[in-house]
Amino acid sequence: MSPTKTLLVTGSSGLIGSEVAGYFGRELGFHVHGVDNNQRAVFFGPAGDTRWNQRRLQAELPAFTHHELDIRDRAGVLALFRTVRPDVVVHTAAQPSHDRAAAIPFDDFDVNAGGTLNLLEAARQVRPESPFVHMSTNKVYGDAPNRLALAEGETRWDFADPAYAGGIPETFTIDQSTHSLFGVSKLAADLAVQEYGRYFGLPTCCLRGGCLTGPNHAGVELHGFLSYLVKCNLEGREYKIFGYKGKQVRDNIHSLDVARFMAAFVAAPRAGEVYNLGGGKANSASILEAFALAEKHTGRAQVYRYLDQNRVGDHICYYSDLRKMRAHYPAWDITRTLDDTIAEIVTAWRERPAVS
């Protein structure tokens, strides 16, 4: 019998990290080493605490080892790589909010850019042959998508140019636009991951996520769009819409489909690749449309207030062009619809003690 393969996943108590841990552990038989220090609670307060998810993984996955480590600890990261010698690295840890980044610019850059560089260099020194999957963001494109011609519908904005009917491709410009400081730190990390693939030949990829979502998200106002929206609906809490008439559009992808794509990449890795990882147009929704879906599954009216001021660098319309992903990995596709996903999120919040 061949020895068990090892996965090192950072941000293992978060939405994507925990999904990846579960998928690789249960479906693929990996021994999972999770790295998480509950920094989300530091960034967002008690509502962002993810210890419950850590405990869930420790209870449900027999081959799971938790490591209480800050990825900014360069020596600690290198020591962990030398101990674990991972066959696969999935990096999902981050300061994830573009609003929060403006208040903590050094923490944001040190975690997102510096932490990523620590992991890349440890991988290069210890396990350069192991696939390295980095969870990037569509914020690397800044607000450049807002320059595209848009058409206003009753409940949403959409691209008016037929060239973007399928969404934003990986060839879209990342330069000369407003990114937010979060977008800048994540872009620095994104480029470093590409460079370690192109310059050093490591099997790396950047996944430029849209709205990543699912039932294990600890959604807060500054991060976790659908999860937080559903939580507000269930608790009768006011949801604030920031500009664009509530018609701003995002594509949403279930965390399981994210983990499935990572597994596809690991099975046939490439060097220095970039993919726009989202739900595509079929799983896109405006805030107003998301309200309607939440109300359908909860039976409660959404309480909200409109503020006629958009977030700096926010997209008016963004959904991912999935053609490159499907071309490179034709066995992968979206398996969870937006309606399915919201139903799961509603159930998950109802089952958590914090929501009545």
Q: Give Cβ neighbours of residue 229 (< 8 Å, ≥ 6 apart).
A: 219, 239, 287, 290, 291, 294, 302
| Tokens (6 digits) for 62 | 């027999």
- Separation of alpha carbons 190 and 195, rounded Å: 9
Q: What confidence tier does 244 reach under pLDDT thresholds 50, 70, 90?
A: very high
Q: What is the CATH number of the domain that holds 214?
A: 3.40.50.720
**75 alpha-carbon distance from chain centroid:** 26
Pairing state between β 157-159 and 150-152:
antiparallel
Within a domain: 35: yes
Q: Is 1 part of a structural domain of the chain? A: no
Confidence of residue 2 (pLDDT cuts 50, 70, 90): low
The residue written with tokens 């909200």 in the block is 304
Q: List residues bridging with 35 in a β-sheet.
A: 10, 67
Can you say how many angstroms the Cα of residue 201 is from the centroid of all Cα atoms in its chain? 25
Ramachandran quadrant class, 77 (left: phi over 0; alpha: psi -120 to 50; beta: rest): alpha
- Single-letter code of the amino acid located at 287: I
One DSSP character per residue, 183-205 reads HHHHHHHHHHHHHHHHTT---EE
**For residue 345, how far is the Cα from the chain centroid?**
16
Residue bearing the bigger pLDDT, 2 or 32:
32
Question: How far apart are the C-alpha atoms of 160 and 136, rounded to whole Å?
Answer: 27
How large is the average pLDDT for residues 171-186? Answer: 96
User: Is 102's pLDDT higher than 60?
Assistant: yes
Q: With 50 as the cut, is the pLDDT of residue 46 above it? A: yes
Q: Distances in Å between the alpha carbon of 13 and those of 93, 110, 325?
A: 9, 20, 26
Alpha carbon distance 324, 235 (integer Å): 40
CA 178/CA 144 separation, integer angstroms: 8
Mean pLDDT on 102-116: 97
Whether 356 is covered by a domain: the verdict is no
Lowest mean pLDDT among 6-15, 120-129, 183-192, 215-224: 215-224
In total, how many domains does the chain have? 1
Lowest mean pLDDT across 40-44, 72-76, 78-82, 165-169: 40-44
* Per-residue pLDDT reduced to its tens digit, 293-325: 999 999 999 999 999 999 888 899 999 999 999
Under the banding of pLDDT at 50, 70 and 90, the label for residue 355 is very low
Backbone angles phi, psi at 259, to 5 degrees: -60, -40
pLDDT at 354: 53
The pTM assigned to this predicted structure is: 0.94
Q: How confident is the model at residue 184 (pLDDT cuts 50, 70, 90)?
A: very high
78 falls within a domain: yes
Confirm whether 10 is domain-assigned: yes
262-300, pLDDT tens digit by residue?
Answer: 999 999 999 999 999 999 999 999 999 999 999 999 999
| Structure-block tokens of residue 91 | 């990096």
The per-residue DSSP string of 277-319 comes to ES-TGGGEEEHHHHHHHHHHHH--PPPEEEES-PPTT--SEE-
Q: What amino acid is encoded at 147 in this protein?
A: R
Q: In the chain, pLDDT over 70 holds for what percent of residues? A: 98
pLDDT surpassing 90 at residue 234 = yes
pLDDT at 1: 38
pLDDT at 311: 87
Report CA 142 to chain centroid distance, whole Å.
Answer: 16
- Give a yes or no: residue 108 inside a domain: yes
Determine the pLDDT at residue 356. 35
Q: What is the pLDDT of residues 186-222, one digit of tens each?
A: 999 999 999 999 999 999 999 999 899 999 887 888 7
**Domain carrying residue 296:** 6-351
Residue 278 maps to a domain: yes
Tell the residue number behind the tokens 């552990």, with chain if given. Answer: 25
For residues 1 and 149, which has the higher predicted lDDT (pLDDT)?
149
- SS3 state at 10: strand
Strand order in the sheet with 31-35: 64-67, 31-35, 6-10, 88-91, 132-137, 204-209, 273-277
